Amino acid sequence: MIEPLDSRGAALVIGLGANLPSPAGEPSETLRAVRPQLESLLSTWAGDACLLHWSPLVRTAPVGGPPGQPDYVNAALVVRLVRLPSHSAALELLQGLQQLELAFGRQRLEHWGPRSLDLDLLWWGDLRVEELELQLPHPRWHQRAFVLAPLLAIERKTPFPLPTGYPPLAALLEATQSHSAD
């Protein structure tokens, strides 16, 4: 496990996904196109140095939602920064993420429905938030192979801390795969 940039800091983790075209093109093109905009948002928001660790793009079957959705393209981003986790800062970042989603044509028509871009704040250190618009850590991140596989790809190159109380990523991913085989 690596230490953040400074001993006070914490890892911030964002999940990315898309299964509909956006103004940038097909889902994989969307995730590539949002990357520099997300990097700019994070740089401005963090107000200090941050290190970004990107996963490869991963194609996954939809989970939940209406039947017949196209497959998703997913990725993850682990951000190492000095800024301390706080409720207000997390809400501010969430607003920025939602603005990016809108810029890429995101429409919230149905729960777990198809989308042109989905940006989820998965966790920020051990910050706990329980609100309608934001729950940290994300309540299902540890149960979703489409989140775990990209995170595991990052962890293999650059280990990072998980929120307190969660088993290793490999064990979480194995558990999701064994449940889908039942």
Q: Which residue among 80, 83, 115, 144 is the active-site one?
A: 115
Specify the DSSP element, H or E, that contains 28: helix 27-46
Q: d(Cα 157, Cα 101) in Å, to the nearest integer?
A: 28
Taking phi over 0 as left and psi of -120 to 50 as alpha, with beta for the rest, 149 belongs to: alpha
Residue 126 a catalytic site member: no
Q: Which residue among 108, 118, 140, 144 is the active-site one?
A: 118
Q: d(Cα 156, Cα 31) in Å, to the nearest integer?
A: 21
**Could you give the angle at the alpha carbon of 12 between the alpha carbons of 129 and 145, nearest 5°?**
90
Q: d(Cα 153, Cα 134) in Å, to the nearest integer?
A: 26
- Amino acid found at 93: L
Q: Which residue among 106, 108, 126, 128 is the active-site one?
A: 106
Residue 8 a catalytic site member: no
77 near 53, Cβ under 8 Å?
A: yes
Q: Cα-Cα-Cα-Cα dihedral of 118, 54, 47, 27, to 10°?
A: -30
Q: d(Cα 75, Cα 89) in Å, to the nearest integer?
A: 23
Reading the block at residue 149, the tokens are 């596989």
Q: Which residue among 120, 126, 156, 182 is the active-site one?
A: 120
Q: Any idea which residues carry the catalytic annotation?
A: 106, 115, 118, 120
